[in-house]
Amino acid sequence: MLAGWSFRHGVHPPDSKALTEAVPVRRMPFPREIVLPLRQHAGKPARLIVRKGDHVERGDKVGEADGWISVPIHASAAGTVTDVDWWPHPDGSMERAVRIAVDEFSPQIPRPRMVPEWEGLDARDVVAAVQQAGVVGLGGAAFPTHVKLLPPDGVTVELLLVNGAECEPYLTTDHRTMVEFPERVHFGTRVMMRTLGVERAVIGVEKNKPDAIDVLRRTAPTDLDVEVVPLTVKYPQGAEKMLIKTVTGREVPSGKLPAHVGTVVQNVGSIAAIGEIFQTGLPLVERIVTVTGPALRRPSNLIVPVGTKLRDVLDFCGGLREDVAEVLFGGPMMGSAQPDLDVPLLKGTTGVVALTHRETKPKTAYPCIRCGHCLDACPVFLNPQLLGSLAQAGRYEEMEAASLMDCMLCGCCSYVCPSNLPLSQMFALGKAAARRRRELVA
């Protein structure tokens, strides 16, 4: 154990979490309309199983898992399907989405126990139950959680790593989950440990959340080997590979999965979601979201039904200030700016950050001066300066040869660049070009 050590490189952006880190989680009332895109997770989108006019109860499926790397989508409120049509998606495109007019006077009582009791289930049943409950990684990538519960053949997993780092500025979603729902975190950890057959679990929490560390330690089960490890405050501590490096000292090889170094990493929010579905019997229909930022009147931590429109969430938080310039899904380092306030909050939406002109002032990009700051910042040891100049020249194939695919778009290079070069956007462009080239070849 290298507790107290850290991964190399990285940056120290101001964490800006004071706006919401002490604000208790509140439940947002059901909005009038819920919009559920069929693509909310990594992998294959869900397959539509409802029609216009159908009535759904809270927790009923509107989309079925289409294959192994896919999960169902559940109605997050009782109501009537008014339409299945194109709707703005947080990734900027238009997607097929189920629109549900929420019953105004419904008590929103879910059907009894849609997820089976955990006691007595074997590992395969747990995996199936987690898939059927629609659980995905709540840390942003929305990768179906059940896939991680079955490690690939020939790989032994020794350690479950619960990711409570939450290194992204502004966001306090995981922080509040750990402080207010520690028993869910521990219960979810127990379920995952038994399913994976691992003996040891480590919950990694950055040191700027001492209350979360304290609560988790006090409530930790005595019959399991679960350790809470305080982590150095550094961005991107919460990146899967960085966390493994910090906690175990091992490095995940390029192109390999954490399972190849005997570890499974799971976001603390997803762990709590696993705990929650087995406790309540209700599939994943809501999540905790930090809604914050200097351009928001009442920064809050909210329990939001999946599919609630951004506009409704902002209104519930007192609305935007006049000087708002940009609304992000996710934090300022990796989040995406939203061009439309009608986009729904999805399972993978970790937070909403509203920024003013002061934080987002566009800066002129100057030529690269070869200072090398980006090389010292890149946590996966790429050469952003080289990749950037290749991107500017449109030489995307050479970018791939320079390990572009190891880039996780954490934004450290753009953050430190004194010439204000939009490096991580260039890398997003390079990755999109690589995808497109593969499609053209196929």
Tokens of residue 60, six digits: 């009923």
* Contact string (CB under 8 A) for other proteins, positions 39-78, x = contact: ----------------------------------------
| Angle value at C-alpha 170, between 168 and 173, nearest 5 degrees | 80
Select from 10, 88, 137, 275 the one that contacts other proteins (CB under 8 A): 88
Q: Per rule CB under 8 A, is residue 311 in the interface with other proteins? A: no
Instruction: Rounding to the nearest 10 degrees, give the CA dihedral for residues 271, 276, 282, 287.
Output: -70
Question: Least distance to other proteins from the beta carbon of 419, Å?
Answer: 14
Select from 85, 211, 225, 397 the one that contacts other proteins (CB under 8 A): 85
Q: How far apart are the first and last CA of the chain?
A: 45
Which of 303, 272, 268 has its CA nearest to residue 287?
303
Select from 26, 55, 298, 436 the one that contacts other proteins (CB under 8 A): 436
Residue number, 1 or 94, with CB nearest to other proteins: 94
Stretch that binds other proteins, among 90-98, 139-147, 190-198, 224-232 (CB under 8 A): 90-98
Q: Are 387 and 399 in contact (CB under 8 A)?
A: yes
Question: Least distance to other proteins from the beta carbon of 360, Å?
Answer: 8
Question: Least distance to other proteins from the beta carbon of 428, Å?
Answer: 4
- 387-425: b or e for each residue (b if 16 or more CB lie within 10 Å)? bbbbbeeebbeebbebebeebbebbbbbbbbebebbbbe
- 270-284: b or e for each residue (b if 16 or more CB lie within 10 Å)? bbbbbbbbbeebbbb
| Subset of residues 346 to 405 that bind other proteins, contact rule: CB under 8 A | 362
Stretch that binds other proteins, among 15-23, 89-97, 166-174, 282-290 (CB under 8 A): 89-97
Stretch that binds other proteins, among 6-14, 123-131, 239-247, 432-440 (CB under 8 A): 432-440
Select from 152, 249, 339, 418 the one that contacts other proteins (CB under 8 A): 339
**Per rule CB under 8 A, count of chain residues that contact other proteins:** 24
* Contact string (CB under 8 A) for other proteins, positions 107-146, x = contact: ----------------------------------------
- Crossing angle of helices 182-196/268-280, nearest 10°? 90
Q: Are 70 and 45 in contact (CB under 8 A)?
A: yes
Question: Least distance to other proteins from the beta carbon of 92, Å?
Answer: 3
Select from 22, 52, 93, 207 the one that contacts other proteins (CB under 8 A): 93
| Long-range contacts, stretch 365-368, CB < 8 angstroms, 24+ apart | 365/419, 365/420, 365/421, 365/422, 366/419, 366/420, 366/421, 367/419, 368/419, 368/421
Stretch that binds other proteins, among 115-123, 124-132, 316-324, 333-341 (CB under 8 A): 333-341
